[in-house]
Structure 1
Amino acid sequence: MTNQTLAQASDIAVWASMVLLTVAMLAFAAHLAVTGTRVRAQSVDAATRESAADSAQQGGSADQGGGVSVLTLPPEDEPAPTRRWGVIGMQVTWLATFALIAGVVLRGWSVGRAPLGNMYEFALAAAMFALVIYAGWALRKDRLWLGLFVTLPVLLILGAAKLSWYTEASQLMPSLNSIWLIIHVTVATLSVGLCVIGCALALLYLTKDHYERKGDVPGWLAALPASKALERITYGIHIVAFPLWTFTLIAGAIWAEQAWGRYWGWDPKEVWTFVIWVVYAAYLHARATSGWHPRKATWLAVAGAVCILINYTVVNTFFVGWHSYSGI
């Protein structure tokens, strides 16, 4: 039986999470704007002082007396870039994370099963993992600069889930009533959550690298780490996500053998799961190959995220197969 009260409470919690994510997103945007402006101003001031010192040194060496008069500029006590807006964004992100966790848990309680049975529930779980990973990561390292680029895609995922993929809480189809649902889909959603963050990092790296090569980094990009650091972080995220997606592929084959008597049937969902695996494997291989520039390899990581998007939206909605469990 479905508990409609708990199901409605789950819906309210998800909507509350979306409102909080909107507030967090605005706070993180303000943090980038303020920090980026301050960093650029400090860079310009440092360049001006260095130029003035060089000019003074050259002028002093030309004195008739042969003495060298070097102008020493007093160090300026530049205030550190404010973190106020970023800290507010992080605190609100934690509230949004707790609200979304509550929404997922209440959805499961309302139907007495793991909330992983359709597109709507999958989207909630993937978004929840993305927030949990980011929030936990930010406890160990300063990742305020990344907040906008995590809360924005998560908010878009939740918006699509509510507006396009929403289904009423209900019981599972008989073929889904297996322990492999929890194992296979939980790892898949965790991997997708990592890939959401990985795609955001990849796009940030490509953008900053482009402007660094031009020699003119815009204000908000100045608040981010250097492009080389962004590329290393991107690679590190995918190093964790790829084995999880590999396990997703293997677990899905084992579940298929138990449910349908075959490990592989070239179902559209199976094919696209394998395509995603191949693209990310190509990215990691290209990244480790000396002949590939990291910029070109990173485009493969972006392509992998696009394949996940196609697999989740187009394949789930328009392709008919054994995995037609979208619920919409």
Structure 2
Amino acid sequence: MDFAAYSNLAMMTAWLLYLVAMMVFGLEWAMARRVPDETVAETAEPALVGATVGAAEAAGTADGTSHRTVRTSVTVDPGRAPEGTDKWGRIALAITMVGWVANVVGTALRGVAAHRFPWGNMYEFTITTVMFIVAAFLVLAMRHRMRWLGLPVTLLATIGVGLAVEVFYVAVADLVPALHSWWFVVHIVAASIAGALFNIGSLLSILYLLRKGSDERGTTRGWLAQLPSTKKLDLWAYRTTAAGFPLWTFAVAAGAVWAQYAWGRFWGWDPKETFSLVTWVIVAAYLHARLTAGWKGSRAAILSIIVFVSFWFNFIGVNLVFSGLHSYAGV
């Protein structure tokens, strides 16, 4: 059985499904109408205006009553999709789930075909990291009603898997000798999960800036009106990034142990090692600024987006731009 071919088919399927999910999430955005924080409704309530027939006739009723208007307020959940668009969001989420299953199957079959863990080149790293990013989104969507994060996540997944299958793809091959270590396995798993959390945090920060700008202009409507408050977006961005930091710290430490095993030294300022440390410093600065200097809002969001840029440059850019001991991208 050609497991490599089935893996390729599964990844192409995942790519297509992520693309379709992105378009359906986009349709949900496009169809969304403004959901105001407070909706004013007018109802008619009878009121006695007189006991005589003349008074009743003057009031326009036969029983001596008229109707006065009563204004009532109904609070609307800002995180709830407007009626008529919710079905598109549910359909998009279901398609995303199926796409994620195809991603998992494609990644697993790649490992079966290679008789090793599927993390030997940039193609395999990319499909694995996208798998963790989408998994994190699905957990947040189902447990914390964060389906509104679907469009940016599926956009990122579509781009990531698209680059993997069209640009980074290499045929199944044996690992280079330096990668034959269990420390390499735990290093990659920790880095991928941490990267997924950093990506979710950065996407939340981007949404924070979009929502904040629309609130300040007084133009919050449509899909943006479904988002939580800027305060909650900022808090979730912090939580996800903070959750990824210990894992990234462990990944850097495990990488150092692996380097000692593979090359006889813990640290050698190889480009990949250097930019892994740069990413760690940026995340540490983000967390430190929030906890000690009180950085919240726009400044913290911008720093969170810098984490996103640093992660992907370290993940992909270093392999393409620099040469070093980690130059096994295969492209």
Which structure has more strand as a fraction of its residues? Answer: 2
Report what 2:136 is aligned to. Answer: 133
Q: Which has the higher helix share?
A: 1
Is the contact made by 1:28 and 1:144 (CA closer than 8 Å) also made in structure 2? no
Residue 223 (structure 2) pairs with residue 215 (structure 1) = no
Q: Which residue of 1 aligns with 2:244?
A: 241
* Of 179, 184, 209, the match for 2:182: 179
Partner in structure 2 of residue 64 of structure 1: none
How far apart are 1:163 and its partner, in Å? 1.6
1:160-171 alignment, distance < 5 Å: 160-171=163-174
Query: What residue is the counterpart of 1:260 in the other structure?
Result: 263
1: CA distance, partners of 2:192 / 2:201: 14
What's the CA shift for 1:71?
3.7
Could you report, residue by residue, the CA deviation over 1:30-52 in whole angstroms, capped at 9, with x for unpaired residues? 223333x1415x75x53x97xxx
| TM-score using structure 1 length | 0.86
Aligned residues: 302
Whether the aligned pair in 1 keeps the contact of 2:34 and 2:223 (CA below 8 Å) is no
Of 320, 324, 327 in structure 2, the residue corresponding to residue 324 of structure 1 is 327
Change (3 A) 1:130 1:77: closer
- Aligned with 1:308 (options 303, 311, 317): 311
Percent of residue pairs identical: 37
Q: Specify the code of the residue in structure 1 equivalent to 2:5.
A: Q
Contact kept, 8 Å, 2:34 with 2:221, in 1: the verdict is: no
Partner residue of 2:15? 18
Once residues 200 and 144 of structure 2 are traced to their aligned partners in structure 1, the CA distance between those partners, rounded to angstroms, is: 15
8 A contact 2:15–2:158 mirrored in 1: yes
Is the CA contact 2:34–2:220 (under 8 Å) kept in the aligned structure 1? no
* RMSD, matched Cα: 2.2
Aligned counterpart in structure 1 of residue 111 of structure 2, from 108, 133, 152: 108
Q: In 2, distance between residues paired with 1:245 and 1:84?
A: 37
Counterpart of 1:286 (choices 289, 302, 305) is 289
Name the residue aligned to 1:72.
70
Counterpart AA for 1:260: W
Runs of 5+ consecutive residues of structure 1 not aligned to the other structure: 50-68
Distance 2:293 2:328 in 1: 43
1:39 aligns to 2:35 (yes or no) = yes
Is the contact between residue 7 and residue 105 of structure 2 (CA under 8 Å) also seen in structure 1? yes
Q: Compare CA radii of gyration and give the structure with the larger one.
A: 2
1:135-163 deviations in Å (ceiling 9; x for gaps): 12222121221111111101101111112
Q: Per the alignment, do residues 263 and 292 of structure 1 end up closer, same or farther by CA in structure 2, a change over 3 Å counting?
A: same
CA distances 1:13-58 after superposition (whole Å, capped 9, x unpaired): 00101111112112212223333x1415x75x53x97xxxxxxxxx
